[in-house]
Amino acid sequence: LFVTQVEEAILGISPSEVDKRKDQHFLKWLKSQVDYDDPEYPTWFHELVQGPLSKVTTSPMYFHTRLYFPYI
């Protein structure tokens, strides 16, 4: 549906430009299409569209690239 809407809105658009627009706008479009009060959509689909509840962050202090093992 997304590709069809893009192709109808922009006549003569190239396939590479459609792919670029998918990368940029598909997620926002999908979120706008899903009605969260509609029981037809399963719970896993709602969770997939909404994305993760939290983001994972890392700290460079946990990455140690040089280990020192003295010869015994």
Digit-coded pLDDT (tens) for 21-68: 999 988 888 888 887 777 888 888 877 887 776 666 766 555 555 665
Cα separation of 17 and 41, whole Å? 30
**Looking at residue 27, what is its pLDDT?**
83
Within 8 A by CB and 6+ apart from 28, the residues are none
Instruction: Say what the pTM is.
Output: 0.53
